Amino acid sequence: MPPMELSSTVSDDLEVFFYFEMAELHPSHVGGMLPIVKPLDPPERPVEYFPENSCDPRAAICGTLDGNGRWLGGIFDKDSFVETLDGWARTVVTGRAKLGGIPVGIVAVETQTVMQIIPADPGQLDSHERVVPQAGQVWFPDSATKTAQAILDFNREELPLFVLANWRGFSGGQRDLFEGILQ
């Protein structure tokens, strides 16, 4: 089996079984065929989620309920999306899903402003925690690294890659240079 990167923490023993199920979605050997499972959703179906204002990438990926409780299907199979690296670099959404029963990797853009929490430096007594807003649709140093890491993981796992790109640009100010945008 190709190496599978797990970048998540489980809270109990039951969640471990989820990762065993994910491992079954990978080829049995390097260069092998992806295992195709029978999808719950028909592969040829309309994408019913249509944002009125700003797009929620998770709803576009896996669908959501509307105000009346009716299911609006997303791009990928219902209940198949699993977000990875979700606590880090939150202006990029990465994860795995199935499309017509075929496992795929996904990189998408968060369109809303998120808050980045920078912890206090324990080596400096006058240091304190900072909360910094990060605009949606912008690649920051941490989100560029997360994107690259996810693509490397999906490539190692031999998963097809979908990039739902809606970036406005890069954050490339003086602070970003110090924080490693050029890595």
CB 153 within 8 A of CB 96: no
pLDDT of residue 106: 97
Whole-number Å distance between alpha carbons of 132 and 141: 14
pLDDT of residue 1: 44
Q: Is residue 156 part of a domain?
A: yes
Q: Is residue 24 part of a domain?
A: no
Whole-number Å distance between alpha carbons of 19 and 183: 31
Provide the domain count of the chain. Answer: 1
CB 160 within 8 A of CB 105: yes
Q: Is residue 23 part of a domain?
A: no
Q: Is residue 165 part of a domain?
A: yes
pLDDT of residue 182: 53
Q: Is residue 12 part of a domain?
A: no
pLDDT of residue 155: 92
Quick: pLDDT tens for 8-37.
666 777 666 666 666 666 666 677 777 677
Q: Is residue 17 part of a domain?
A: no
What CATH number has the domain bearing residue 49? 3.90.226.10
pTM of the model: 0.77
The range of the structural domain enclosing residue 68 comes to 38-179
Q: Is residue 140 part of a domain?
A: yes
Q: Is residue 81 part of a domain?
A: yes
